[in-house]
Amino acid sequence: MAKSRVLVAGGAGYIGSHANKELHRRGYDTVVYDNLSTGRREFARWGEFVFSDLADLEQLRLVFQRYKIDAVMHFAAFASVGESMLSPERYYFNNVVNTLNLLKVMREFDVNDLIFSSTCATYGIPLQTPITEEHPQNPINPYGRTKLMVENIMADYCAAYGLRYVSLRYFNAAGADPEGEVGEDHDPETHLIPLVCHAALGLGPSLKIFGTDYDTPDGTCIRDYIHVTDLADAHIRALEYLQSGGQSDVFNLGSGKGYSVCEVVAAAAAISGVDIPTTKDVRRLGDSPVLISGGQKAESRLGWKPAYPDLESIFQTAWAWHKQRHGGKE
Tell me where in the chain the CATH 3.90.25.10 domain(s) lie.
192-223+256-326
pLDDT in tens, 105-143: 999 999 999 999 999 999 999 999 999 999 999 999 999
Task: pLDDT band for 330, please (50, 70, 90 cuts).
Answer: very low
Instruction: For residues 43 and 306, give the distance between their C-alpha atoms in angstroms, rounded to a whole number.
Output: 23
Residue 182 has pLDDT above 60, yes or no: yes
Count the Cβ atoms, other than its own, within 10 Å of residue 299: 12
Select which of 28, 91, 123, 143 is catalytic. Answer: 143
CATH topology of domain 192-223+256-326: UDP-galactose 4-epimerase; domain 1 (3.90.25)
- Write down the architecture of domain 5-174+226-253 according to CATH: 3-Layer(aba) Sandwich (3.40)
Upstream peptide bond of 217 is cis (omega within 30 degrees of 0) = no
Quick check: is 143 catalytic?
A: yes
Tell me where in the chain the CATH 3.40.50.720 domain(s) lie.
5-174+226-253
Residue 2 has pLDDT above 70, yes or no: no
* Alpha helices in 52-141, H assignment, sequence order: 57-67, 81-86, 88-91, 98-108
Contact (CB, 8 A) for 242 and 235: no
This prediction has a pTM of 0.94
pLDDT in tens, 10-59: 999 999 999 999 999 999 999 999 999 999 999 999 999 999 999 999 99
Task: pLDDT band for 205, please (50, 70, 90 cuts).
Answer: confident
